Amino acid sequence: MKHKAFIFDLDGVIVDTAKFHYLAWKSLANSIGIDFTEAQNEQLKGVSRVKSLEKILTWGNKTLTDDEFMELMSRKNEDYLEYVNRMTKDDILPDVDRVLDFLIENNCKIALGSASKNARMILRKVELINKFETIVDGTNVTKAKPDPEVFLKAAEQLNVNPEDCVVFEDSVSGVQAANIGNMISVGIGEKAFLHEAKYIFKDFTEISFDFLKDL
């Protein structure tokens, strides 16, 4: 492996928490009279909690006071965490373990680069927290993807150059962030959305050890 470090996004790459975000945002939006579809949820992937609520309010043509905004943010998170609390290692997406273990056995450095403020808690719930040498999440960054800040911080903490990093991402903005940061982008998901990625796979079951070795 020429590349020394591998940075994983969380939601949509390691676990499928998008469905929980969807349910929590939907019940919140509906409670204030705003419709919320799965297609709209797609547009919130990789987007921070604050920005997600701003978008929903724009779609629903609604304005709130700062206090109301904060109240809805915490209500959404409480609802979301009820789903997260029920997660176990069975919620890890297929073959993520196989790829992580292979990389670790081959002395690669592993980091998490996520927009979520709940990232550490989720990794603990699915018992993967010890596999990550460093974690950069929504509590450590000020600029959202496609700004490469989250991945550049991870590279810095691992003490490797951005060009030596590979990023696994399921969101368009995350793929763009990796590209802007001069890292190799591997898209996980649909080709139609992720065509800007250098490589694209439907999920980790399609990623072979030979592919990883050649990276």
Q: Is 118 in the site for ligand B16 (CB under 6 A)?
A: yes
Measure the CA–CA gap between 111 and 55, rounded to whole angstroms: 29
Chain-centroid distance of CA 138 in Å reads: 10
Of these residues, 11, 97, 210, 214, which one is catalytic? 11
The CA distance from 194 to 13, in Å, is 13
Beta-bridged to residue 100, according to DSSP, are none
Near Mg ion by CB under 5 A: residue from 24, 52, 166, 170: 170
Is residue 9 at the binding interface for ligand B16, with CB under 6 A as the rule?
A: yes
Among 117, 120, 131, 198, binds ligand B16 (CB under 6 A): 117
Q: Are strands 165-169 and 134-136 parallel, antiparallel or unpaired?
A: unpaired
What does the alpha-carbon distance between residue 155 and residue 143 come to, in Å, rounded to a whole number? 16
Site map 42..61 versus ligand B16, x via CB under 6 A? --xxxxxx--x---------
Q: Measured from the CB atom, is 64 or 131 closer to Mg ion? A: 131
| Smallest distance, ligand B16 to C-beta of residue 114, A | 3
| 101 in catalytic set | no
Q: Cα–Cα distance between 212 and 215 in angstroms, integer?
A: 5
Question: Of how many residues is the chain composed?
Answer: 215
Q: How far apart are alpha carbons 117 and 19 in whole angstroms?
A: 17
What minimum distance in Å lies between the beta carbon of 50 and ligand B16?
Answer: 9
- Residue whose Cβ sits closest to Mg ion: 12
- Any bridge partners for residue 167, and if so which? 7, 185
Q: How far is CA 147 from the centre of its chain?
A: 14
| Residue in 195, 193, 48 with CA at minimum distance from that of residue 185 | 195
Residue from 3, 5, 6, 12 in contact with ligand B16 (CB under 6 A): 12
Contacting Mg ion within 43-102 (CB under 5 A): 46
Q: Number of residues in contact with Mg ion, rule: CB under 5 A? A: 6
* H helix or E strand, kind and range, residue 169: strand 165-169
Q: How far is the CB of 123 from ligand B16 (least distance, A)?
A: 11
Choice from 8, 9, 22, 25 touching Mg ion (CB under 5 A) = 9
Residue number, 162 or 189, with CB nearest to ligand B16: 189
11 in active site: yes
What are the structure tokens assigned to 179, written together?
């590209």
User: Which chain residues interact with Mg ion by CB under 5 A?
Assistant: 9, 11-12, 46, 170-171
Q: Which residue ranges make up the site for ligand B16 (CB under 6 A)?
A: 9-12, 21, 44-49, 52, 77, 114-118, 138, 171
